Amino acid sequence: MIVSQTSKMASDFDNGQTIALSLSYHNKAVIRFVSSVISKILARNNLIYLQDTIITILREIIVNAVKANSKRLYFRVQSLDMTDEEDYNLGMQHFKEFILDNQAFVEDELKKSDYKVVIYIKKFEAGFSINVQNNSPIHPDELKRIKSRIEKAKKYNDFSEVYCDVTDDSEGEGLGLVLTVLFLKSTGIGVNSLQISSNEKITQTSLLVPFQLKPAVVMNKIQQQILDEVRDLPTFPEHITELEKLCANSEVDYRIIADKISLDPSLSVSVLKLSNSAAFITRKRIETIGEAINIIGLKNLRAIIIASSARRILDERYSSFRQVWDHCNKTAFYARHLAAKLGVERIGQNAYMAALLHDLGKIVLLSTSSALSEWMLTLVRNRGMRSSTVIEEVSIGISHSSIGEKIARKWNLPEYLVDAIEWHHAPLSSRKEYRDVVYLTYLADKMCAIEDKKSDFFYIEEEVLERFNINNEESFTEIHADLMKKFAEHNAPKQ
Ligand SMILES: [Fe+2]
Ligand SMILES: [Fe+2]
């Protein structure tokens, strides 16, 4: 099972072992496997925002390595001598066409041959390396051409310059290399982290990814701006803190709390709305604050007050981030229903609240860096990427989960919420006592990401699936399909 193999590899990686993956061709299954390992490694090291970038670069490197092996194979099949200039030129005239027209044949022949591509992934103190080796030497002319392309690519500032300039694309890798270099530049990984070398036996492309990225100076300013922004966020208003305290006291007279809530109309609306939400499935509609307290209890009321106050502060300060809240609402709905389905009903409400707030760091991230949005938008368009958050995180060097954790601490949110916000992309790092809530948030979020085609079942950590006895892709998909249906029904206009 891919999930368990890749989770095991990610653990081995964490324990300092070198991971080795051997392949002969870059078919879909192979790329999915490699992407899954990389995704898990990055998530565990709080670098999930590099996922798209690293996978794109690695795919490019693998394709080139396989192509180099296919070239050897082609020359052998055609009985051409690569070291002979005339033979080489003759072979190169038809090679590209040949591998395009005979993909299945090439894949088959490579599998039978001793041409292999091996990927080594290893962790160091300051980062990790990915070495892709193929067991055929590179032609000196090719190495020269590639190196000069990399040097040239280092001089580009953005994609528009590339489009005007890339003309020599005789083997297709021209543009790929340039893009790779630009990715490395903009992420702060750095252009010099990519190295290509060769001897008589192998060719090796290596990529060094530091755990601490060095974003460009201008980006550091934005990072500082975000941290300042978090520092300057208002704390919860006094009456909310008071209410929180009252809810913590089991001796309290419910009527005092109900009266206090009623004085804040927008809080009253939120309490009623959330009490009637998927988190608290009751037969009867809750109409008054008093009923709400009776039915959901003080502990849950406290969570509702906290969640709605957090959202209110962010809403008042940063408008127009509806997509983030819409996503959070859906995640919360999924998390709650997952709890019921997976036999952890008792934490359903906590999971609902955690999922409701899990991406709150994104709101601050998106709004603070909005000065850059014009520039980001161009990048996103040029790269054909789906969301700008990833790019913003890459350029800023701080993830929305870290920002979220800082906000959660500032607001003294309950510890289970802090953990869920901080670790919803790296659930294995969460504290044991909050594990189930974090795992449910993670799974619900993954389902949303899969719907948006941003993730894949194989990217999910095995430990999480195992915890809830989800044994294969089919059962996961079945649960997911059921939740999608429930969510659609829930949102259907009432007759
Ligand atoms: Fe997230
Ligand atoms: Fe999310």
CA of 361 from ligand 1 middle (Å) equals 8
Report pLDDT for 404.
93
**CA–centroid distance, residue 358 to ligand 1 (Å):** 7
- Please report how many Cα atoms fall inside a 13 Å half-sphere around the Cα of residue 11, on the Cβ side: 10
Residue 325 reports pLDDT greater than 90: no
**Which bound ligand lies closest to the C-alpha atom of 426?**
1
Using CA atoms of 208, 212, 215, 218 in order, give the dihedral in degrees to the nearest 10: -170
Both tokens of 480, joined, read 């997911």
Residues near ion ligand 2 (Cβ under 5 Å): 359, 445
Distance 228 CA to ligand 2 centre (A): 23
Dist CA 59 CA 53 (whole Å): 10
> CA gyration radius for the chain?
26
At 250 the pLDDT is 80
Q: Please report, as a single letter, which amino acid is at residue 455.
A: S
pLDDT at position 18, please? 95
Say what the pLDDT of residue 130 is. Answer: 95
User: What are the counts of helices (DSSP H) followed by strands (DSSP E) for the chain?
Assistant: 23, 5
Query: Is 444 in contact with 334 (CB distance < 8 Å)?
Result: yes
**How far is ligand 1, taken at its centre, from the CA of residue 205, in Å?**
32
Q: Which ligand number lies closest to the CA of residue 424? A: 1
Who's near 65: CB < 8 A, 6+ residues apart?
117, 132, 133, 134, 203, 205
Q: Point out the ligand nearest to the CA of residue 327.
A: 2
Domains and their CATH numbers in the chain = 2-210 (3.30.565.10), 217-236+319-491 (1.10.3210.10)
Q: Which residue in 351, 482, 426, 473 sits closest to 32, CA to CA? A: 473
What rounded mean pLDDT belongs to the chain? 84
The per-residue pLDDT for 418 is 96
Distance 351 CA to ligand 2 centre (A): 13
Residues with CB under 5 A from ligand 1 (ion): 359
- CA 119 to ligand 2 center in whole angstroms: 31
Gap from CA of 381 to ligand 2 centroid (Å): 22
Strand order in the sheet with 127-134: 19-23, 117-123, 127-134, 203-210, 194-198
Distance from Cα 329 to the centre of ligand 2, integer Å: 10
Residue 46 backbone class (left: φ over 0; alpha: ψ -120 to 50; beta: rest): left
Residue 359 Cα to ligand 1 middle (Å):
5
Q: Which residue has the tokens 């019921």?
A: 340
Amino acid at 482: D
Segment 370-427, tens digit of pLDDT:
555 555 555 555 544 444 555 556 666 677 888 999 999 999 888 999 999 999 998 9
pLDDT of residue 163: 52
For residue 301, pLDDT over 60 is answered with: yes
pLDDT of 382 reads: 54
What does pTM read for this prediction? 0.73
User: Coil, strand or helix: which one is 479?
Assistant: helix
Q: How far is the CA of 264 from the centre of ligand 1 (A)?
A: 31
Distance 428 CA to ligand 1 centre (A): 15
